[in-house]
Amino acid sequence: MNAVSEGALPDRRGAKVDELTGLPGRDALLGRIATLPDSAECGMLCVDIDQLAALNEAMGLSAGDQLIAEVARRIAASAGPADLLVRLDGDAFALLLDLTGKPQSLERIAAAMVHALCAPYLLAGREVFISASMGAAYGGRLLLQHAETALARAKESARGGWLMYSEDMARSLGEYFHLETELRQAIDGEQFLVYYQPKASCRTGAVTGFEALLRWNHPSRGIVPPSEFIPRLEKSGLIQRVGAWVLRSACVQLKEWLQAGYGDLHMAINLSLRQLADPDFPDQVRDIVEEIQVPLDRIELEITESMLMYDVDQAEKSLRRLKGLGLHLSIDDFGTGYSSLSYLKRLPIDTLKVDRSFVQDITIDPNDASITRAIISMAHSLKLKVVAEGVEAEAQIATLVLEQCETIQGYYISKPLPAAAASAFLASGWRIPPQLLGRPAKERTLLLVDDEEGILMALRRLLRREDYRILCGRSGAEGLELLAKNDVDVVLSDQRMPEMTGEEFLRRTKELYPHTVRMVLSGFADMESITNAINQGAIYKFMCKPWDEKTLKDGIQEAFQRKEINDRHQRMLSDIAQANDHLNKDNQSLAVQLDAQSHTAMISQAALYIAQENLNQLPVPVMGLDPSGLVVLRNEAALSIPQQACLDLAAQFPPALHSQPFHLEYQEPGGRRWQVMARHLLSEHQHRGTVLAFIGDAK
């Protein structure tokens, strides 16, 4: 009888047996292992059902029980009479196998069992797919411990599969569990910190907010970056606690800054998949933010593209609720995942954060530049704002500004800072240098016209952080006077004013200063005249009194952007006009030159004609040859001399070294024998041709 055969399945000899499966428990197994002789050839398989908790939740406990019983049955089917199967706990089983004389190796048995356990289950009349993970180990007293280690490893890295135990596994698993223990201690020991990285506006150059970034102040390793522990916090489920803590800390910090007078700051917080997947998360956020009393619209939650891919329907639900609370939402690391345009359109997102990898090479790699440009313009066409991440150099800013990216974040502004250093940074008043913002050096000038002093004051207060030069007129006439004395970009006028209505004032403004962008702010709408004014281009936008602060601020900002785009167009047009002007001037001088040339050509022509006439008067044949011997000029007397005669004569010419006359003879075929006087024509030592005069009969 071999070592394990006594425990043939099921064990009915006094051991406690599980009611559901009829299997003994861990004690029975330990008892059996303790009695194994050293020479026993044994193997152990530990099996764990992967999704039991989810199944219990979705289909109820009785379906869960059915599943457990069926899994036990399938495992038992691979067990021989000499093997021992036990139920370790809820969803875990162990099978002690006597391998003596077994034709199959432990590996083969494990692979076959994984396969068997993955086949569909019929539970409560439905077909359900469930997987199980498995750890395997050979021989020895520690085989249960080893198989459980391998199982833990398989759950981690090979879910739905199996792994054989190895020594390395024990070591790395030790570290693995150690990290989790340390993270738990970190929570209790308050070793987590939040660092803050500033963001700045490409429009004003000012700091507009911070991103909260988690750090772990490890007792021996110092500050540990999140990439080394966030994945582990997520896996262990600790991220929800830590994430809530980050949110709370960031809100407390934001409140402190808001109270210190930095009224426009926003705080961005990163979310993990588990937080987004938790249906209670939106309520938790609301509770925390309301408890600390910061405005919900100052909080921005960052989610990555990959989180959307996991379960877009659930993500959409949570995002809609968060958005409904007034929070801002942004997509982090955009460009690195696979989110499609349709997702972006469907989800209530406000901002895209373009991943650092695109920004890094923007000024070097034309591909990255064009992808970044495309992302920015796509985002704008979906009415999303853009944050460029990882900005490190000035040259990157210039390109991003040109593409109208709204906000930048990166080491160029500052690395993430501990709270105190971030406060000091804020207090330093840091700004992007104006020359990088590519804005015209002149200030953005806004003219407000309203007969009510209170309204002018309220508007000034609303816009005090916007970096505009603000002029105030109490009437249309005052407005026109201010326009005459100042270079105004945007005009915002009340409609109902004594003496001159807003509409009339803006009509005149349009005639006198057509490049201004003009808006009406009115509680009273004389629809007809305002519609006319809009249609005739006197008014760009109509804004309502009483106003919504954000809408009004955004409207004015858009008006300045429009003005700057118009100015840029205007500058381009004038550049084009100037270039055309240059081109015209060049054309004119070319025409003058051509005239002069054709005049010279006419003179030459006339000279040639006169020369030809003179030659014709000569009673003897005269000819001009080019350097190759071709006739280029002849008088009437020479018409009888054939070209061939000239070529023959040219063959006898002495080298063209000087212009002394030389003599040759020519025999007319069947006629006169001529004495020919010739002279090479040289100018600037170049042979230009030869003149021949047939002067009389040869002796």
Binding of Mg ion by 333 (CB under 5 A): yes
Cα separation values, 94 from 45, 48, 68, 102, Å: 6, 9, 13, 18
Between 306 and 675, CB nearer to ligand C2E: 306
The Cα–Cα gap between 423 and 512 comes to: 47
Q: At its nearest, how many Å lie between ligand C2E and the CB of residue 270?
A: 4
Q: How far apart are CB 225 and ligand C2E at their closest, in Å? A: 4
- Greatest alpha-carbon pair distance for the chain in Å reads 157
Query: Which of the ranges 162-170, 329-337, 585-593, 601-609 carries the binding residues for Mg ion, by CB under 5 A?
Result: 329-337
- By CB under 6 A, the residues from 192 to 231 that bind ligand C2E are 197, 213-214, 225-227, 230
Convert residues 604-643 into a mask of x (bound to ligand C2E by CB under 6 A) and - (unbound).
Answer: ----------------------------------------
User: Of 384 and 692, which CB lies nearer to Mg ion in the complex structure?
Assistant: 384
Helices (H), 206-335: 230-236, 239-259, 273-277, 281-292, 305-310, 312-324
**Nearest to 15, CA basis, from 2, 1, 32:** 32
SS (H, E, C) 259-274: HCCCCCCEEEEECCHH
- Give which of Mg ion, ligand C2E, none residue 272 binds (C-beta under 5 to 8 Å, depending on kind): ligand C2E
Residue identified by tokens 């100015």 is: 567
Query: For ligand C2E, which residue has the nearest CB?
Result: 410
CA atoms of 330 and 316, how far apart (whole Å) = 13
Q: Is 411 in the site for ligand C2E (CB under 6 A)?
A: yes
Give dist(CA 347, CA 315) in Å, integer.
9
What distance in Å separates the CA atoms of residue 403 and residue 397, rounded to the nearest whole number? 10
The answer to whether 270 contacts Mg ion (rule: CB under 5 A) is yes
Q: What is the DSSP string of 40-65?
A: --EEEEEEEETTHHHHHHHH-HHHHH
Of the pair 239, 483, the CB lying nearest ligand C2E is at: 239
Contact pick of 70, 392, 466, 648 for ligand C2E (by CB under 6 A): 392
CA pair distance 562, 255, nearest whole angstrom? 34
* Cα dihedral: 576, 579, 583, 588 (round 10): 100
Of 284, 435, 261, the closest CA to residue 269 belongs to 284
User: Which pair of structure tokens corresponds to residue 120?
Assistant: 């569909």
- Each residue 366-395 as x (binds Mg ion by CB under 5 A) or -, in order, gives -----------------------x------
Which of ligand C2E, Mg ion, none is residue 518 near (CB under 5 to 8 Å by kind)? none
410 contributes a contact to ligand C2E by CB under 6 A: yes
Please tell me whether residue 246 binds ligand C2E under the rule CB under 6 A.
yes
391 neighbors 413 (Cβ within 8 angstroms)? yes
Q: Which of 48, 83, 98, 332 binds Mg ion (CB under 5 A)?
A: 332
* Of residues 285-314, those binding Mg ion (CB under 5 A): 302
Interaction pattern, residues 273-312, with ligand C2E; x per rule: CB under 6 A: -----------------------------x----------
Q: Which range, of 265-273, 438-446, 531-539, 569-577, touches ligand C2E by CB under 6 A? A: 265-273
Binding site for Mg ion (CB under 5 A): 270, 302, 332-333, 389
Interface with ligand C2E (CB under 6 A): 197, 213-214, 225-227, 230, 243, 246, 270-272, 302, 332-333, 356, 389-392, 409-411, 416
